[in-house]
Amino acid sequence: MIYLDKEKTKPADIKQDEYGYYVLTGDNTYYVFGDAKVIAMDKVKVYLKENSRAHAFDYSKVIAFDNSEVMAFGNSKVGAYDNSEVGAYDNSKVRSYDNSKVSAYSNSSVESYGNSEVIAFDNSKVSAYSNSSVESYGNSEVMAFGNSKVSAYDNSKVRSYNNAKLIDKRG
């Protein structure tokens, strides 16, 4: 169910498309509860809980919980938790925890904890903790902790701590 408030007193009157997704548009903040699939466009803010999925466009902000999958485009900010998978592009900022997988492109900034996998392109900054696996390209800056594995390409800067492994593929 989708609401215009987190107290669940104002349900949003939104219909599903032919693929089972709710298309959220406008300059509203939507709160998604339950098992809902969401496509967010324009300047939309979406908060997902339980097993929700989302696509966020333009200036959207998405926070996903549980086993959510999120793709954010434009200048989106994404927070994904538990076993979430996140793809954030352009100038996006991403935080992913637990067993998340993250791909961040352009000028993205990424933090991933737990057993996350991260791929960062262009001028991204990445911090990886625990047993994360990281690939960095372009002028990325990576800090890896724990038993992380880092593959560095191009002009990437890498700082590795504890038992982090660096595979240096820089030219």
User: pLDDT digits over 48-64, tens only?
Assistant: 777 778 887 878 788 88
**pLDDT above 90 for 10:** yes
**pLDDT above 80 for 130:** no
Percent of the chain with pLDDT over 90: 2
Write out the two tokens for 117: 């996998």
Of residues 158 and 87, more confidence is placed in 87
**pLDDT above 80 for 127:** yes
Contacts (Cβ under 8 Å, ≥6 apart) of 148:
128, 129, 130, 131, 132, 133, 134, 160, 164, 165
Lowest pLDDT segment from 80-89, 90-99, 121-130, 158-167? 158-167
Q: Where exactly are the structural domains of the chain?
A: 1-66, 75-171
**pLDDT above 90 for 9:** yes
Q: pTM for this structure?
A: 0.76
Query: What is the structure's pLDDT at 171?
Result: 66
**pLDDT above 80 for 77:** yes
CA gap 153, 37 in Å, rounded: 36
